[in-house]
């Protein structure tokens, strides 16, 4: 049987890149989606193809544009004529205090974090069902416990959590859908300046690393055939009940 195929959105850097490496190491071919980080995406694909020829490719699309998202879905199906896993990892994150947000903020935060995953889920479900595949959504502890001045982001991630549970029910038994909710793994490039406070609020009193998330994605995708509709917190115990942040 041909190697299974995974599409990982936002996979050029950070958690997405580590997830692509981990899935590739487990024998999957990977489609590395990016928006602006084409150089990083191409470099990652070259690294993976050097390890196993013709096992990685790059596709570029703006997830804020529904038309481009649908084109991405079609291209992903056509690349190797199969798809076994969709990882909705791409995300926008920045503060939007109430009274100081714009329509553009809605577009950037809601589209990338929620609408694009829905469109990809809808477009790719028939192919995923054919191969008894799965979907994994990267959510956030803030989907349940809001972060001050990040209401739009929290709304989007809460919606993604419900998309995970609802689509698991609707797409079963042929497609499993699960989520991973990271805690303090890699700090955002903006909008999170209380890092010491956040770490103190975790049970383990430290940050995790990208391999923690990538390993959970691989487990849910490849090693958990009876798990669906679940959102697994990989957060060092932060979701047990934290203060502030």
Q: Catalytic residue at 142?
A: no
Rounded CA gap, 39 and 192, in Å? 26
Q: For residue 116, what are the β-bridge partners?
A: none
Q: What one-character-per-residue DSSP string does 38-61 give?
A: HHHHHHHHHHHHHHSTT-EEEEE-
From the list 94, 118, 131, 153, the catalytic residue is 153
CB 244 within 8 A of CB 201: yes
CB 231 within 8 A of CB 164: yes
Burial annotation 142-167 (CB, 10 A radius, 16+ → b, else e): bbeeebebbbbbbbbbbbbbebbbeb
Peptide bond preceding 173 in cis form (omega within 30 of 0)? yes
Query: Active-site positions?
Result: 153
């Amino acid at each position: 049987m041909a190697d299974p195929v995974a599409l990982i959105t936002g996979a050029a850097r950070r958690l997405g890149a580590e997830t692509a490496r981990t899935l590739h190491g487990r024998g999957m071919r990977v489609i590395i989606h990016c928006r602006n980080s084409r150089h990083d995406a191409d470099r990652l694909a070259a690294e993976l193809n050097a390890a196993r020829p013709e096992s990685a490719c790059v596709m570029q699309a703006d997830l804020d544009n529904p038309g481009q998202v649908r084109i991405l879905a079609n291209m992903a199906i056509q690349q190797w004529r199969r798809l076994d896993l969709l990882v909705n990892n791409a995300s926008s994150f920045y503060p939007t205090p109430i009274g100081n947000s714009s329509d553009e903020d809605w577009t950037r935060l809601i589209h990338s974090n929620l609408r694009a995953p829905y469109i990809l889920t809808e477009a790719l479900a028939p192919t995923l069902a054919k191969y008894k595949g799965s979907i994994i959504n990267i959510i956030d502890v803030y989907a349940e416990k809001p972060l001050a001045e990040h209401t739009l982001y929290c709304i989007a991630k809460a919606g993604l959590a419900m998309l995970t549970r609802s689509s698991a029910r609707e797409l079963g038994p042929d497609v499993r859908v699960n989520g991973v909710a990271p805690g303090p793994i890699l700090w955002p490039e903006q909008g999170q300046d209380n890092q010491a406070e956040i770490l103190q609020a975790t049970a383990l009193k430290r940050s995790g690393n990208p391999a923690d998330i990538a390993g959970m994605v691989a487990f849910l995708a490849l090693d958990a055939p009876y798990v669906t509709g679940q959102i697994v917190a990989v957060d060092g115990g932060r979701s047990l009940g934290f203060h502030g942040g």
